[in-house]
Structure 1
């Protein structure tokens, strides 16, 4: 996905290709006419964009085109393959417009309301029980060499009157030379789509990606545009917008009836829509072609125009037997926009230069300004109501094991037209360039770094183990790693060792795993460990590994326990939309602070715990992708639920206590069209039986026991209670709820754009038999704990500031003791 993000830096201006003409349609005052209709005698249609511009493929036999716009006289223009640009001016009609009046209200709005009311009868995923079809997709990143100047610029700089330095810039010339021979990037894909039981699955039969022997699965899973035009939220470049035919759309969009046209032998209304709000992120702009008879979508143009000009076009074929418009072709384009706003891409922000500088002088366009992305999909072999069973329906995408090894005859059978010479050279040149520059190797290294590893031969060095700090160990210096696929894809060896400069002790772990099933990522693992862990902390075994360059919360933790022993587990994704860990362990526990556990007439300063545990995370709404190397979560959706049950094993391996623990977590996130986000977290735990303080719950405190507010300033934690002091509360059962609401970034200065986040956290809990614990003084949470705060994140270079206030029954007598000021640091790695 990072490679794809890099490629978007090239996206720019207008698209031209062989056998294409382009131009602009204006009125007599030279004002652009958006969405004017252009038709050839062969009944091929195109429309102008919001700036009145058009790009239109023509055949050599085409001699003319007709340009029409409601309220203006139609004009026929002669065309020739020797002429590429056409400026068309239309005269406004002086007589009354003879529009089709459906009612006394805006006729376009009346039509849209009928479209909304008829969605279930016209949406293939609602009207049909099942269907299947195949698609051929080709995606290129390229540029039109004719638009690039290609000159070699030079400039002179005088150090004194007798000496001068000549600077030569040949970048545009070199870029034009390259783009004349090849595209910058190219992929092809053949897929089979199957729909049944309200689920749509894509099976990738073949995939080919320039420069890569094995495809980059992140790019394959990237969603350029919605498959269905009837979804309530329309997705364009992984950003969701209110669909102009959603149930609430009439309150958010303005509509205008432009014209009536003939599509595939059926009459259709042309309706222009635009979001009522001025903010670009609030909605789409474009044109819908509405069948006059059944009010179905017969064609759609969806567009977002900003820093990037992004458009998605949907073409449909009419199925007479089913009386249904079924999607036949889709086109997705990204070109350079005109302003200098930032745009969200792939969860990050990319900033483009504007066409106008601060002195309002047009900047010179460079070669990369003319780069664009174009993705075209052609559907064929459509079959409806076949009742053919769909295998592995829980998967959103399945990639066949041999998809990347298809022969040329396979591609020739599915391509709509043969690859031209430029496309053929693209594969040859980029493949050779990729090999010489080791692109696949570098991409693999980059992917591992994002997850906290650096590959050195057959071993991935664990970057998290190199250095860290906490108040018990001091600086923790270590070395760790895990073997990678260069050694074996079927087994692995992992381990680490560390030394604490403050406690003066070594820690270590050694483990191994064997792959039981590749498709479900099922591994059997065994470990022996001697290490320390924060007391009363909650660890879900299925939580994803999170790599942070700097994890601030452990700095101030001073109470740990040492655990020494072994564990064996099975990791699997066997159950659809889940990941599970089943584990057995036996550990010798020694608290590293003054503590005695008094139970059954005995006092324990150390003890043995033998346990069985099952941990499972369920993501019912996420999309999963089955690749030749295993199953991955291709799109994370909410809510998602995590459940963990731990049971001690009496009389097994000298186990000292009998207890059980149940832990639960529910997460929910909602992203809004105005770039705001709400995140909810519900977490609970229940422990019963003879369980020591080391394995109870502390609900993640993150405040220092210091006299003044300034002395307590430290870094904020993740989902931690910022005003709760370390070791202040312990519980054997608790429930915690957190709500965060983040607003769009506020532009104060060019490089100062903080993100405002409102936070509230509450927790309740209780402790059975508190008299059993002899050691640190603590309180319980029967009365509840409440805090709220404001975060200003990413104020400058990732640094931010937050303030939190503690209130309610556990509020402290001194006002300043209830206040916590925190520093935040956010670095967006795109994870």
Structure 2
């Protein structure tokens, strides 16, 4: 919810060139309609491009060219004289050819779909598939090249009044360097620019690649809000030769996918010959406007069926909330007369709140990559590719201004000049601060001290009644080596104060090693949290402390907990650690909920438990994106598998501990991409406690008595309906990403996405644990038959471009209820997504 509310506060491209000649403009017909996919090239050269869906084009070259030629089937060709080396905003009108009006063929989405055999584009696509593994740098034994990347982040459709107030006396000097939306005269206001230079080495025989960062710098307003960070990092490596292109964890079908004919309509344009080389142009259009697909064109070389250039853009009807558009352009240059190698990648993303309308204010990100200095077949020792230069601090690859000016193009130099002034604007900083508060939930009180989260200040349960909570944390940047964090909470029914304090310190960045300590005095729903996460203090908004819930719940435990943790990262995303803990546990409502057990040694009934433990754990998250050089790493949104294995040892008579026991638990999650068929998200969990322990130390099957979806819990179980010391459970969801509903008339206008769910658990409870039980809970485990829930749901629910909600319809199988009232057999639950 944080991500979406932040956009409400926001209501308030770059192209690289080393060019001597640059032209930017738009093509229209005599009726003022844009002309897409027209050929635009410098006269008597092979340097050319095509206009995009809106008729816009940009063309540049390192050489001087005096003329520009524009041609398109059915229109008269035009030759434009270029009086200046840099010509921007030129408007060119093409006239229809009077002699061929009856034969004009305008490339557009075909009204009749052709079969593969009928469509001449299919023959070209088959050749692309056959040759895709033998294209580009894959043709050489080894390769190396330089890569220069810039990422520009900012606000778009900003009116001149806002820009003038933001820049004040700097406006006149900077305004000429800012990009303007020619459709409505508003500004693109960049607020941050990141530049990176890299050296890339690869050996195709060894199937190894090494990437060395050479230089890196970031200028502008430091983005500490999650939404702006995620927008800035939305574009990773996009390989058009893959069947699926992953963006925001959604699978977009590539236009050259082997499954492309199920998603796209293709139109083959006539072939062209330039300098004795033959090229084909294919236009592609999504069959269903709401699908995760693109519209655009690509040029293919006849000799080896390599992609020479490709341009593609999402449609406004695309069923993805908060995204106005994505645009991609990739161009390739020829090397040694046969190898087409990457020359330039241009990625553009535009994000808005209410609608996808062109007038609405939003956030934009432009990422550009330029490749140069290619060398092939320079053999290096295999050990060379195993050497890795680890980045362990922010300024590790800092370079002076002279270095960056040498790499910068004119366009990027202008962006840099604007960002350098914007970073000191109080007005723009005020906007980004509001975004930070709404996305992260923390408010700066003084330099280095924040209070929050504002999203976890109020909750309710039957023990505490209404609960007020306020937390704090030390925070200067995300790269702080030391972080202090804590909270105070008060229940208006039990009239008791709760509190917690935690400290985390980064001992070393290579290897990454952290030390954490915490103390907690609070009420908890035992068994709800299988494992702790990064923090030792549980998050404030867990299910037992939600504002709304069904039925009654007095099953809370009062816990006083002291904890110490040591964590070591053996290799990227592979962590080993140990946590020691001293816990005192008793019922938070002893008159209504008992945690009593029989102490067989003294033959007495005990109501409190002292639990002294050590936990040894292994955490493995391959493919997880992390960044930052402080104690708290920033985690990206890319889907990845995760494995957590935990072994707990309880100690009797050590620091007052009451029980010796051993427990092992495992949880594994793996989101599996199934291309256009969606995402299958599977979670498996298992655990076993080997000795007899009381209810306060047993594993209650994770239940959920709120009306909201909580991951990996059972929505139609009450707390402590099932208690087990051995269990195995699975939680499965399949998200169709609009595949089904996009094809149903009328329903597709709602832009909903469907999903299926199934979750189940099997477990047992030992007679020894039952024998010492004296609590008010009757021990029951799902051992006679597994317990399971199943259902379907709809997500992407909302209005306009705001679609954060999900609704699930859930049923369960029968089970005998011993504790509390009989559970419903059917329920409706609501979820709120925190990502795009």
DSSP 3-state at the match of 1:540: coil
Instruction: Find the counterpart in structure 2 of residue 351 from structure 1.
Output: 354
Equivalent in 566, 570, 573 of residue 577 of structure 1: 573
Instruction: Find the counterpart in structure 2 of residue 461 from structure 1.
Output: 451
Q: Please say if 1:210 is aligned against 2:220.
A: yes
Decide whether aligned partners of structure 1 residues 609 and 180 sit closer, same or farther in structure 2, where only a CA change above 3 A counts: same
Equivalent in 173, 191, 197 of residue 191 of structure 1: 197
Equivalent in 25, 29, 34 of residue 22 of structure 1: 25
Q: Please say if 1:735 is aligned against 2:728.
A: yes
Instruction: Find the counterpart in structure 1 of residue 760 from structure 2.
Output: 762
Are 2:36 and 2:55, in contact at CA under 8 Å, matched by a contact in 1? yes
| 1:21-60 matched pairs, under 5 angstroms | 21-24=24-27, 34-41=36-43, 42-50=45-53, 52=55, 54-57=57-60
Are 1:136 and 1:414, in contact at CA under 8 Å, matched by a contact in 2? no
Decide whether aligned partners of structure 1 residues 507 and 432 sit closer, same or farther in structure 2, where only a CA change above 3 A counts: closer
C-alpha deviation, 1:762, in angstroms: 1.3
C-alpha deviation, 1:151, in angstroms: 12
TM (normalized to structure 2)?
A: 0.76
C-alpha deviation, 1:573, in angstroms: 3.8
How many pairs were matched up?
757
C-alpha deviation, 1:587, in angstroms: 2.4
Listed one character per residue, the Cα deviations across residues 263-301 of structure 1 (whole Å, up to 9, x for unaligned) are: 7x6724223232451224342222222222222222222
| 1:154-165 matched pairs, under 5 angstroms | none
Equivalent in 278, 288, 292 of residue 278 of structure 1: 288
Decide whether aligned partners of structure 1 residues 429 and 625 sit closer, same or farther in structure 2, where only a CA change above 3 A counts: closer
Instruction: Find the counterpart in structure 2 of residue 288 from structure 1.
Output: 298
C-alpha deviation, 1:637, in angstroms: 1.8
Decide whether aligned partners of structure 1 residues 654 and 136 sit closer, same or farther in structure 2, where only a CA change above 3 A counts: closer
**In 1, Cα distance between the equivalents of 2:529 and 2:155?**
50
Are 1:283 and 1:673, in contact at CA under 8 Å, matched by a contact in 2? no
C-alpha deviation, 1:231, in angstroms: 2.5
Q: Please say if 1:118 is aligned against 2:119.
A: no
Listed one character per residue, the Cα deviations across residues 684-705 of structure 1 (whole Å, up to 9, x for unaligned) are: 22111132211212212235xx
**In 2, Cα distance between the equivalents of 1:637 and 1:126?**
31
Decide whether aligned partners of structure 1 residues 450 and 539 sit closer, same or farther in structure 2, where only a CA change above 3 A counts: farther
Give structure 2 stretches of 5+ with no counterpart: 15-19, 106-115, 180-188, 318-323
Listed one character per residue, the Cα deviations across residues 759-797 of structure 1 (whole Å, up to 9, x for unaligned) are: 322111101122232222242211111222344567668
**In 2, Cα distance between the equivalents of 1:417 and 1:634?**
32
Instruction: Find the counterpart in structure 1 of residue 279 from structure 2.
Output: 269
C-alpha deviation, 1:117, in angstroms: 1.1
Equivalent in 315, 336, 351 of residue 320 of structure 1: 336
Instruction: Find the counterpart in structure 2 of residue 771 from structure 1.
Output: 771
**In 1, Cα distance between the equivalents of 2:586 and 2:161?**
74
Decide whether aligned partners of structure 1 residues 673 and 444 sit closer, same or farther in structure 2, where only a CA change above 3 A counts: farther
Are 1:518 and 1:630, in contact at CA under 8 Å, matched by a contact in 2? no
**In 2, Cα distance between the equivalents of 1:151 and 1:721?**
53
Instruction: Find the counterpart in structure 1 of residue 687 from structure 2.
Output: 685
Q: Please say if 1:528 is aligned against 2:541.
A: no
Decide whether aligned partners of structure 1 residues 623 and 604 sit closer, same or farther in structure 2, where only a CA change above 3 A counts: same
Instruction: Find the counterpart in structure 1 of residue 627 from structure 2.
Output: 625
Listed one character per residue, the Cα deviations across residues 304-332 of structure 1 (whole Å, up to 9, x for unaligned) are: 232745421112232329x5322111223
| 1:364-513 matched pairs, under 5 angstroms | 375-384=367-376, 386-387=379-380, 389-390=384-385, 401-402=394-395, 406-417=399-410, 422-423=414-415, 425-433=417-425, 436-437=426-427, 439=429, 443=432, 446-447=435-436, 450-457=439-446, 458-463=448-453, 466-485=457-476, 489-513=480-504
Listed one character per residue, the Cα deviations across residues 598-655 of structure 1 (whole Å, up to 9, x for unaligned) are: 3655445133322110234322132333557775433432322222221123553233
Equivalent in 344, 347, 357 of residue 329 of structure 1: 344
Decide whether aligned partners of structure 1 residues 132 and 373 sit closer, same or farther in structure 2, where only a CA change above 3 A counts: same
Q: Please say if 1:641 is aligned against 2:643.
A: yes
C-alpha deviation, 1:585, in angstroms: 1.6
Equivalent in 115, 118, 122 of residue 109 of structure 1: 122
Are 1:475 and 1:501, in contact at CA under 8 Å, matched by a contact in 2? yes
Are 2:523 and 2:559, in contact at CA under 8 Å, matched by a contact in 1? yes
Equivalent in 652, 655, 662 of residue 653 of structure 1: 655
**In 2, Cα distance between the equivalents of 1:508 and 1:136?**
46
Instruction: Find the counterpart in structure 2 of residue 567 from structure 1.
Output: 563
Listed one character per residue, the Cα deviations across residues 45-95 of structure 1 (whole Å, up to 9, x for unaligned) are: 02123355545458996444333446x587352434489322123534999
**In 2, Cα distance between the equivalents of 1:749 and 1:94?**
39
C-alpha deviation, 1:528, in angstroms: 3.4
Q: Please say if 1:252 is aligned against 2:248.
A: no
Decide whether aligned partners of structure 1 residues 125 and 498 sit closer, same or farther in structure 2, where only a CA change above 3 A counts: farther
Listed one character per residue, the Cα deviations across residues 147-180 of structure 1 (whole Å, up to 9, x for unaligned) are: x9x899xxxxxxxxxxxxxxxxxx9xx9999744
Equivalent in 79, 82, 97 of residue 77 of structure 1: 79
Instruction: Find the counterpart in structure 1 of residue 110 from structure 2.
Output: none
**In 1, Cα distance between the equivalents of 2:480 and 2:421?**
31
Are 2:13 and 2:366, in contact at CA under 8 Å, matched by a contact in 1? no
**In 2, Cα distance between the equivalents of 1:777 and 1:228?**
57
Are 1:803 and 1:819, in contact at CA under 8 Å, matched by a contact in 2? no
Equivalent in 128, 146, 158 of residue 133 of structure 1: 146
TM (normalized to structure 1)?
A: 0.76
**In 2, Cα distance between the equivalents of 1:213 and 1:684?**
39
Instruction: Find the counterpart in structure 2 of residue 234 from structure 1.
Output: 245
DSSP 3-state at the match of 2:241: coil
**In 2, Cα distance between the equivalents of 1:106 and 1:465?**
58
Instruction: Find the counterpart in structure 1 of residue 528 from structure 2.
Output: 537
Decide whether aligned partners of structure 1 residues 626 and 252 sit closer, same or farther in structure 2, where only a CA change above 3 A counts: same
C-alpha deviation, 1:569, in angstroms: 0.9
DSSP 3-state at the match of 1:725: coil
C-alpha deviation, 1:817, in angstroms: 5.0
**In 1, Cα distance between the equivalents of 2:161 and 2:470?**
53
DSSP 3-state at the match of 2:422: helix
- Farther off after superposition, 673-682 or 174-183: 174-183
- Farther off after superposition, 475-484 or 677-686: 475-484
Are 2:208 and 2:385, in contact at CA under 8 Å, matched by a contact in 1? no
**In 2, Cα distance between the equivalents of 1:144 and 1:477?**
40
Listed one character per residue, the Cα deviations across residues 411-450 of structure 1 (whole Å, up to 9, x for unaligned) are: 1221244866x546414431332xx3472x8746754664
**In 2, Cα distance between the equivalents of 1:241 and 1:29?**
34
- Farther off after superposition, 206-215 or 742-751: 742-751
Are 2:467 and 2:490, in contact at CA under 8 Å, matched by a contact in 1? yes
**In 1, Cα distance between the equivalents of 2:406 and 2:698?**
63
Q: RMSD value over aligned CA atoms?
A: 5.0
Instruction: Find the counterpart in structure 2 of residue 338 from structure 1.
Output: none
